[in-house]
Amino acid sequence: MSYIEVTMKKLQRSSPSQPEFYQATEEILQSICPLLERNPQYLQQNIIERIVEPERQIMFRVVWQDDDGNVQVNKGYRVQFNSALGPYKGGIRFHPSVTASTVKFLGFEQIFKNALTGLSLGGGKGGSDFDPKNRSDNEIMRFCQAFMNELQRHIGATIDVPAGDIGVGKREIGYLFGQYKRLNRHFEGVLTGKSLNWGGSLVRPEATGYGLVYFTENMLQANDDCLDGKKCLVSGAGNVAIHTIEKLYQCGALPISCSDSTGTIYHEKGIDLILLRELKEDQNCSLAKYLESHPDAEFTPIKQYPEGGHAVWRIKADAAFPCATQNELSAADAVALCKNGISCIAEGANMPCTAEAQAHIIAAGIHYAPAKAANAGGVATSQLEMAQNASMMQWSFADVDQRLQIIMKDIYQRCAETAIEFHQPCNLMLGANIAGFRKVADAMLEQGLV
């Protein structure tokens, strides 16, 4: 039995029933085999066993009252995975699908994503199975305050700095920050994604989508190609998808799809970004309403293909940007994309491709931008917000955007150079995993047994 198989079996015993976490861990471990062969000190110092176990896992109940006076109970999580490079950093997700496995896989990915930015950030993640949809502002405020009552014991500007994620936007960050300040009497950069009125950063809402496109442009330009003129598939209709679509238009590309939990819109002339923003402001609105303004578009209700997959990946195009959620792009989808002539896949969501889809994409030789590198613009700009908070300043949009472009270019170069170093120049997933792991592992070695 190989070292990786032994490690995975140990992990499955110590952390049972966490499939997403196993998937994320195995991807990293398989990728770094060439590094482990070259640098046996990582095995001698048990870096693998240390890095797959969080430094701290916090689970707590969240008790709050709805508008009808009924007491509600949800589960809260914060996983502080690794602080070798800096304070824990990672978002908070409010969604019914949130489990310990979800939070741990996201936190594990965050370690290496943050390392790739070159910034002083550790890895963490948090969330709750609370669903903000169909809840009033007062209910969301009461839930956020109850959530922060426990979380505030474990975070701080130089300890752990959460951000937003699915279900957690400026409104939720505001309620969380207000309760933290009330309990601790500190006005500090303990959360990122704040309103511009009280410490937020320009470009932060756009950063993940913009950064995804910046990374993709760097990847394509290195191969004598560009996004200009390309038809692009985008999944999702949230913050990442919307700003990916916006930046694709600015680069001369034509985004022709978007999707949500109700189905997929295909608009051959290009997605109407203004209309999409309006529709998504109403959380109860289906994308099917898009057709009222654009009858020439097509809407496919959500359905499961017999072989598995999603309608958004069955449309003919040049490039694909999965920006919805984990494991949204199956092996069958990857086969369909290749048959339809896709030459580039860049991940905006966290781990949106299944392991089988990843293997097919890499084997097909398609330009592939893995999430931990390509979607790191959000956390990078969060760190820029932390820097602004520490100096009590606010930088201009152009200044932050320029820094973001430089960071995404540096991430691409770091991944590409590492892939070349290990003799797989087209494998950016390997480059990203090795580069991120090596940076964290070396810091752990230098800091001793802590």
The total of other beta-carbon atoms located within 10 Å of residue 390's CB is 12
Pairing of strands 319-321, 231-234: parallel
Spatial distance between the Cα atoms of 409 and 416, rounded to a whole number of angstroms? 10
DSSP strands (E only) in 323-389: 344-346, 367-369
From 125, 194, 230, 247, the catalytic residue:
125
Per the annotation, the verdict on 125 as an active-site residue is: yes
Instruction: Give yes or no for a contact between 308 and 334, defined as CB atoms under 8 angstroms apart.
Output: no
Pull the structure tokens for residue 274. Answer: 């203004």
The total of other beta-carbon atoms located within 10 Å of residue 45's CB is 15
Sheet-wide strand order for 56-65: 56-65, 71-82, 123-128, 88-94, 160-163
14 exposure class (CB count in 10 Å sphere: 0-12, 13-18, 19+)? exposed
Q: What is the DSSP string of 133-169?
A: TT--HHHHHHHHHHHHHHHTTS-BTTTEEEE-BTTB-
Phi, then psi, of 295 in degrees rounded to 5: -65, -15
Could you give the 3-state DSSP secondary structure of residue 171?
helix
Instruction: Give yes or no for a contact between 92 and 127, defined as CB atoms under 8 angstroms apart.
Output: yes
- Using alpha carbons, select from 99, 24, 16 the residue that is nearest to residue 351: 24
Q: What is the DSSP string of 242-309?
A: HHHHHHHHHTT-EE-EEEETTEEEE-TT---HHHHHHHHHSTT--GGGHHHH-TTSEEEE----TT--
Q: What stretch of H or E contains 319?
A: strand 319-321
* Helix and strand element counts for the chain (H, E): 18, 13
Catalytic positions are 125
